[in-house]
Structure 1
Amino acid sequence: MTRVLIIEDDVDLAMGLRANLEIEGYEVTCEHSGEDGVRAALADPPQLVILDLMLPQMDGYDVLAQLRDAALHMPVLLLSARSQELDKVRGFRAGADDYVTKPFGLMELLLRVRALLKRSAPAGMPAAAGRGYQIGGARVDVESRTVRRGAHEVSLSPKAFDLLNALYERRDKIVSRHDLLREVWRYNESVTTRTVDAHIVELRRKLEDDPANPQYILTARKVGYRLRV
């Protein structure tokens, strides 16, 4: 399920957005200050952030700067009552992907969210869309983002699913951790993180018959991983 983080100090507005996004099938978290929003994004990066500019203490520009400084490159949609062109330009220069002026129409916002998520899909996903593939006893449906082993559906986190698809796009080839970080998490090579390894553990636990002795999701020592199909 695609995760959206809303950082908005207007609680009623945030709750209204959350309710409508959840109806659309998104998993939504709300934070009501810049500091809490940054902490939430760093702890568990979402696929998209909806960010109010006029936050108390740490404003939206500062939040956006901290997210980008931490090499978090998920799309960010700014909300603001400021409609001047200079305000929009400043937002885009700060690293925003879209800018919506309050008051806004709900349908317009939902369409912008969908468009941002579509544009930010990990590399390799469009080519695989509409196809399925087999990994041992597991059947992966890329279009519906589901995995089944026999009659049972396997629950994968969104990033684990994206990681699996990235490996499949280069199946039977070694893919470095750096490449996976760039393609799936949009991180640059200067970021050191064990997040790839953690998600590999999840994939092995869910897809391998014996996760301790994997037959399909293989480690290339000191380099990365290879998917054998």
Structure 2
Amino acid sequence: MRVLVVEDETSLAEVVRRGLTREGFVVDVMHDGQDGLWAATESAYDVIVLDIMLPGLDGYQVIARLREAGVWTPVLMLTAVDGEHDQAEAFNLGADDYLTKPFSFVVLVARLRALIRRGAPERPVVLTNGSLSLDPVRRRVLRHGSEIALTPKEFALLTFLMMHAGEVVTKATILDAVWDPAYDGDVNIVEVYVGYLRRKIDTPFAEASIETVRGVGYRLLEAGPAGPAGPAGPAEPAEPAEPA
């Protein structure tokens, strides 16, 4: 059983690590939100223990980005504040359980075992937009029943756009949600990947799903249960060729 502990209080993190190790868990520890997000997206864990008050990214931001990226590992959140608002916010963002500091180690272990027995829930249900469907659990994308192969970054970008269908999202917002927090390159990488997506999910099917909102960003056009996502907009400038 593999556990990721994201906790900036090093003494508490070490106590939890030693205790869980004695209970038979394999434990990785990260001390800030950015490293925790990276670990949770790069490796497979059975459960995550996530503090709310973290440097870099707080626990709310971490779990929001995990769920937007289609990572459904069960998460137990820790907080020093026992308030209904904090609990509600955690659950609304996709947390599976919640403990207030100071907590009983026995209770922590019991709750982690319960989450592991339940496993990662298959949520959300398959995302659909017209003839386009995306299964975040099985990592499959279909259009008119034909499967479309996407790279991990293309899949994460499409997941984000489908979860915000009908909304205009800026390049900066997309970069913040889909790319690694440490990425400090050109924001126009978003434009490049939107081009990749268009060539895979739209062009072969004579559809136009992703709209460019000039000077703002992009919008995945909402569509009914059948038929195209919407009429094609103005011709887009050519994007660079996709790397091999």
Q: Aligning the two structures, in what range does the TM-score lie when normalised by the shorter sequence?
A: 0.5 to 0.7
Distance verdict in 2 for CA 1:24–1:56, change over 3 Å = same
Q: Kindly state the Cα deviation for residue 66 of structure 1 after the two structures are TM-superposed.
A: 1.2
- Find the structure with the greater CA-based Rg: 2
The residue aligned with 1:71 is 70
Distance verdict in 2 for CA 1:101–1:187, change over 3 Å = farther
CA distance in 2, matches of 1:193, 1:47: 24
| Deviation string, structure 1 residues 130-172 (Cα, Å, up to 9, x no partner) | xxxxxxxxxxxxxxxxxxxxxxxxxxxxxxxxxxxxxxxxxxx
Distance verdict in 2 for CA 1:76–1:22, change over 3 Å = same
Q: Kindly state the Cα deviation for residue 46 of structure 1 after the two structures are TM-superposed.
A: 1.0
2:140 paired with 1:189: yes
The residue aligned with 1:54 is 53
Residues 72 and 187 in structure 1, CA contact (< 8 A), matched pair in contact too: no
The percent identity for this pair of structures is 43
Residues 49 and 75 in structure 1, CA contact (< 8 A), matched pair in contact too: yes
CA distance in 2, matches of 1:70, 1:90: 19
Q: Kindly state the Cα deviation for residue 43 of structure 1 after the two structures are TM-superposed.
A: 1.4
CA distance in 2, matches of 1:3, 1:104: 21
| Deviation string, structure 1 residues 59-93 (Cα, Å, up to 9, x no partner) | 00000011111111010000001101111011000
1:86-97 to structure 2, matched below 5 A, reads 86-97=85-96
Distance verdict in 2 for CA 1:193–1:17, change over 3 Å = farther
Q: Kindly state the Cα deviation for residue 189 of structure 1 after the two structures are TM-superposed.
A: 2.9
CA distance in 1, matches of 2:120, 2:98: 20
Ranges in structure 2 where 5+ consecutive residues have no aligned partner: 123-134, 142-148, 153-244
2:51 paired with 1:40: no
CA distance in 1, matches of 2:112, 2:150: 29
CA distance in 2, matches of 1:9, 1:193: 33
CA distance in 1, matches of 2:113, 2:59: 22
CA distance in 2, matches of 1:87, 1:58: 16
CA distance in 1, matches of 2:54, 2:26: 23
Q: Kindly state the Cα deviation for residue 187 of structure 1 after the two structures are TM-superposed.
A: 4.5
CA distance in 2, matches of 1:57, 1:97: 23
Residues 71 and 187 in structure 1, CA contact (< 8 A), matched pair in contact too: no
| Deviation string, structure 1 residues 71-119 (Cα, Å, up to 9, x no partner) | 1101000000110111101100010000000010110101000110011
Ranges in structure 1 where 5+ consecutive residues have no aligned partner: 124-180, 195-229
| Deviation string, structure 1 residues 181-211 (Cα, Å, up to 9, x no partner) | 97xxx455349569xxxxxxxxxxxxxxxxx
CA distance in 2, matches of 1:42, 1:75: 13
The residue aligned with 1:12 is 11
TM-score of the two chains, using structure 2 as the length reference:
0.51
CA distance in 1, matches of 2:15, 2:91: 26
TM-score of the two chains, using structure 1 as the length reference:
0.54
